[in-house]
Amino acid sequence: MKSPLSLRGLTKSYGGQRVVDGFDLELEPGRCHGLLGPNGAGKTTTLRLALGLIEADAGTVELLGHVLPAEAKQARRRVGVVPQVDSLDPDFTVAENLQTYGRYFGLSGKTIAERIPALLDFAGLAGKADAPILTLSGGMKRRLTLARALVNDPDLIILDEPTTGLDPQARHLIWQGLRRLISQGKTLLLTTHFMDEAERLCDIISVLDHGRSIARGSPRELIAGHIEPHVVEVFGEGLDEWKACVSGLCRRCEQAGETLFCYTDNPDKVVAELEAAPGLRYLHRPANLEDVFLKITGRDLRD
């Protein structure tokens, strides 16, 4: 089966700065793909290129069998988009938002009306059809935006930071929805800077920094390939003295503020040392995607 979206050598500059820099991506049908990167890495710009909203300086985009930007309009018929910034129509009710949006795809009022109950059900908004947008919580708005992206029954769904700014309950509801879409065989491409989100949802992850792909693979592959399997986080009184004598036990140690991150294949010895050090506290856990991410993109703040 053909790739729903293929980006080759994509490059885009703003003011002399390469925001997307020779980026390649090949989506696999029916899988969930993550675009992971710090703020300003070029995630949103990549999605805008992929949708044919802006033109690349170099490289090619093929979206659902259409070459962009020439055939962008046809290609977008089969795509659903959840934008980073909410853009629901505040003057309309929940159902009117779906009705209006469906018309942009050339769907008839009848077709949309038939789809609305299932969409509201999917979004956990059953019974809210006539609610004004102003009465919805942030999580409800985000779920409605997701439902809106499904009104044309898309093959590919593109989501730009779908859960940023939501509380944990709301995030879990969105995740449930996305899992259902994945199980229905939809292809997903989502950006996020939440590692746990990417780890939970994505089959394949591209880590993006300064517009370049710096790592790619499944969450497991990325963790196994880039980082030691165990992490011991150490903090408390006497960290500096302890740090000097422990370095032989860990493959890699990194200090961030008051916390020392010890990456190791053999955590037992480190933990034994720590048990003997009063005043120090620690947390032993398996390495996760966040550790990979911090290792390859660095710990500097990006805002």
Partner 1 sequence: MISFAWFPVWRRNFLVWRKLAGPSLLGNLADPMLYMLGLGYGLGALLPDVDGVPYLNFLAAGTLAYSVMNSASFETLYSAFSRMHVQKTWDAILNTPLDLRDVLLGELFWATSKSLLSGIAILLVIWVLGLYEHFALTLVLLPVAVLTGFCFAGLGLSINAVSPNYDFFLYYFTLAITPMVLLGGVFYPTTAFPAWLAAIAAWLPLTHAIELARPLILGQWPQGMLLHAAALLAYGMAGFAAALGLTRKRLLR
Ligand X SMILES: Nc1ncnc2c1ncn2[C@@H]1O[C@H](COP(=O)(O)OP(=O)(O)O)[C@@H](O)[C@H]1O
Contact footprint for ligand X (CB under 6 A): 14, 19, 37, 39-45
Q: What are the residues whose beta carbons fall under 8 Å from the beta carbon of 218, sequence distance 6 or more?
A: 202, 203, 204, 205
The least distance separating partner 1 from the CB of residue 297, rounded to whole angstroms, comes to 27
In DSSP terms, which residues pair with 263 in a beta bridge? 231, 252
Contact between 103 and partner 1 by CB under 8 A: the answer reads: yes
Contact between 72 and partner 1 by CB under 8 A: the answer reads: yes
Contact between 92 and partner 1 by CB under 8 A: the answer reads: yes
The least distance separating ligand X from the CB of residue 263, rounded to whole angstroms, comes to 26
Contact between 138 and partner 1 by CB under 8 A: the answer reads: no
Which CB, 43 or 115, lies closer to Mg ion?
43
Site string for partner 1, 170-209 (x = CB under 8 A): ----------------------------------------
Member of 26, 89, 121, 153 binding partner 1 (CB under 8 A): 89
**133 with 93: CB under 8 angstroms?**
yes
Contact between 70 and partner 1 by CB under 8 A: the answer reads: no
Q: Please state the three-class secondary structure of 136-202 as a single string.
A: CCHHHHHHHHHHHHCCCCCCEEEEECCCCCCCHHHHHHHHHHHHHHHHCCCEEEEEECCHHHHHHHC
Question: What sign does the dihedral 20-28-194-163 (CA atoms) show?
Answer: positive
Member of 1, 16, 39, 85 binding partner 1 (CB under 8 A): 85
The least distance separating ligand X from the CB of residue 164, rounded to whole angstroms, comes to 10
Which CB, 42 or 219, lies closer to partner 1?
42
- Measured between alpha carbons, how far is 270 from 267 in angstroms, rounded to an integer? 5
Contact between 104 and partner 1 by CB under 8 A: the answer reads: yes
State both tokens at 141.
């708005």
For residue 219, whether the previous peptide bond is cis, meaning omega lies within 30 degrees of 0, is no
Q: What are the residues whose beta carbons fall under 8 Å from the beta carbon of 191, sequence distance 6 or more?
A: 34, 35, 36, 37, 43, 44, 47, 84, 159, 160, 161
Residues of span 152-171 touching partner 1 by CB under 8 A: 152
**88 with 133: CB under 8 angstroms?**
yes
Which one of partner 1, ligand X, Mg ion, none is in contact with 85 (Cβ closer than 5 to 8 A by kind)? partner 1
Which CB, 69 or 217, lies closer to partner 1?
69
Q: Please state the three-class secondary structure of 26-44 as a single string.
A: ECCCCCEEEEECCCCCCHH
Question: What sign does the dihedral 74-75-77-81 (CA atoms) show?
Answer: negative
The least distance separating Mg ion from the CB of residue 45, rounded to whole angstroms, comes to 8
Which CB, 76 or 171, lies closer to partner 1?
76
Contact between 122 and partner 1 by CB under 8 A: the answer reads: no
| Of 84-92, 211-219, 233-241, 262-270: span binding partner 1 (CB under 8 A) | 84-92
Member of 6, 11, 44, 111 binding Mg ion (CB under 5 A): 44
- 215-221-225 Cα angle (round to 5): 70
Site for partner 1, rule CB under 8 A:
51, 53-54, 72-74, 76-77, 79, 81, 83, 85-92, 96, 100-101, 103-106, 152
